[in-house]
Chain A
Amino acid sequence: MIFHPRIRHLASKGPVFIGQGPILSTFLSLSRNIEGFQFPATASTNILESVAELTLAAMHHEDVHSLLPSMFQIKHELLTTSDRDLLVERELMDRSQTDIAACRVFVCAEDGSTSVLLNGDDHIWLHMTSPGSAFRETWDRMSELESALARHLRFAFHPRYGYLTSVPALVGTGLRITFLIHLPALGLSGRRKHILERLEDAGLTSAPYFPVDGKPAGNLFLISNRTTLGEREEDLGLRMTEVVTAISREEERTRAELINRQKLLFLNACGRAYGLLRNNYLIPTSEALDALSIMKLGADSGVFRDFTRQDWAELLLECQPAHLCCRMNMALTPMERGKYRAERFRERLHGPEAAEETEPES
């Protein structure tokens, strides 16, 4: 068994990236440390154990627990590599904090909307995801949870620097806001690079969500804040929402232009992507992601009648390595993943009987 039963259960939950239009998801993470204890990177096991117990005790207090009624906890060292990869794919764990380290504890809500990592880079790392552009709602939820925890734990706070974190780049609010955005039309028009580069001026930063050989597979990008000091959480969130909405509008405008001017080319691209996903027997992740990106463009523009955003979001998760392993319940080689990924696409786009004919008729 390569998956922890709890994590396997999470994988069966619905997708998280089902935003309307180009903005697919909002992720918020908040870093906090407990006063009087060394930060995890330099602390002894004894300190880390104390931190974990203190925080979990606080989380089991009635007022905190009522905000996370269905949470469960697992020691990090009991999670397999596949478990951790799956959590990263579901946006419940940060790629940089997946290593096994002393006294790391992973806490998660059963619906997969909230996760907490104890003794990662900082003592407490709260993480929440919401579909679409939803800073306000997600921040309200997160702030409520943080305030509840702050009633029982004294967080390391400096009157000038704000909340103290192990990485000084997060000092202040300790808040990282990230939007997942899908920008295929801007990519085709060649303006995407310029637009994303200009984010730097606003103190924001962008990165490809699936970097494959330096290229952004699937036209998916993460836009996050670079700064955490000197701006209120709400102000930052609203400012970012404005920026991201403007980019999203530009993307939609470019899409409309593309469809109006070059409808045949657009339909051709959609049809080819559909054909590729529906009729292949071996497909690598990057190729699948690129085809899925065009499928999403088609679905958003009403080209595919019976292929919804929900279907798309499910396939986006299911075609990723750890989700495939979880589905097949075994470790897979890249070749096998390509095969089962193709099988899943055929099944989804043709109907269940299509997946069974694993060999093309010669």
Chain B
Amino acid sequence: MMLCQICKANPATIHIQEIVNGETNTLHICPECAKKRNLAEGNAANSHFHEMLERLTQAIANSADLKLAELFDQKKPQEEEAQDLLCEVCGASWHAYKKNGKVGCAACYEQFSQVLLEDIELNQHGSVHCGKTPPETVEQWHDPAVSERIGLRRELERLRKGLDESVRREEFEQAAEIRDKIAGIEAELKSGDLIPDESAPETPKKTRARGRRKSS
């Protein structure tokens, strides 16, 4: 049994090899002397560090897994909820309302009534409207020019959808026909612009064309 080179009493259990300028020196010491000289501590610390690092990596991996799992767990019901709450009339989602505070159409109030009611009651004075009500009879669509144009626009929307469908099916002859119809309706709508601009610095035609491109 080798004795410690420092105290020469205890058995040497730590062997340190040092290479200085190409020469190899070996030191055989006992743990106590190593401790005194701070020699073994480095090693011990190193091993601790490795251990720690390993544990940490493991922990990170575990927590990441956990977090991901949590996320999936949370997301699933939310997604389902959002899918459940799509307005059948305008297609607006409950999620979008939560994001920007706006609903898409009047029907959303019925469609989302279960959840919207809570929001409304929480922030309002009461839960039932009192105050002005609309008259019973309304002379709507009174202006024939306006109702005709509204009809034309609905037709336009329908035709545009048809055009997309025909292009998708590669029925190009039909698509060309629809395109001509669309151009005809667009020209008709453009010719009778009901929103004239008084002393407008730009021509209304330009702005109209811009609007069209956006919607198509």
Contact = CB atoms under 8 A, between A and B. Distances in A.
Interface in A134-180: 143, 146-147, 150-164, 166-169, 171-173, 175
A157 B133 contact: yes
A146 B132 CA distance: 10
A33 B133 CA distance: 13
Contact of A1 (B119, B145, B201): B201
Contacts of B138: 150-154
A38 B215 CA distance: 15
B153 interface: yes
B153 A46 contact: yes
Contact of B125 (A150, A164, A230): A230
B157 interface: yes
B214 A45 contact: yes
B170 interface: no
Contact of A39 (B104, B131, B135, B156): B104
A57 B109 contact: no
Given A41-B104, A231-B130, A50 B109 contact: no
Interface string B196-207: 011111101001
B181 to A, nearest CB: 15
Contact of B109 (A102, A158, A228): A158
Contacts of B28: none
Given A39-B105, A57-B143, A232-B131, A172 B124 contact: yes
Nearest to A154: B138
A168 B130 contact: no
A233 B109 contact: no
Interface in B81-112: 90-92, 100-106, 109-110
B124 A229 contact: yes
A56 B194 contact: yes
DSSP majority for the B interface? Answer: loop
Given A39-B105, A56-B195, A151-B135, A160 B130 contact: no
B212 interface: yes
A278 interface: no
Interface string B155-179: 0110000000000000000000000
A102 B214 contact: yes
Interface in B126-140: 126-135, 138-140
A10 to B, nearest CB: 13
A201 to B, nearest CB: 12
B33 interface: no
Nearest to B147: A54
Contact of B134 (A73, A155, A161): A155
A189 B145 CA distance: 62
A53 B210 CA distance: 18
A233 B110 CA distance: 24
A105 interface: yes
A89 B178 CA distance: 48
B191 interface: no
B213 to A, nearest CB: 9
Given A151-B138, A168-B116, A161 B198 contact: no
Contacts of A77: 207, 210
A50 B153 contact: yes
A58 to B, nearest CB: 8
Contact of A75 (B106, B157, B207): B207
A260 interface: no
Interface string B22-33: 000000000000
Contacts of A47: 153
A6 B199 contact: yes
22 contacts: A4-B199, A6-B199, A45-B212, A49-B153, A50-B146, A54-B146, A73-B195, A74-B200, A75-B204, A75-B207, A77-B207, A151-B138, A161-B109, A161-B129, A167-B101, A172-B129, A227-B123, A228-B125, A229-B125, A230-B126, A230-B130, A231-B131
6 A-B pairs with the lowest CB-CB distances in the bound complex, closest first? A230-B126, A162-B129, A45-B215, A227-B125, A156-B106, A42-B104
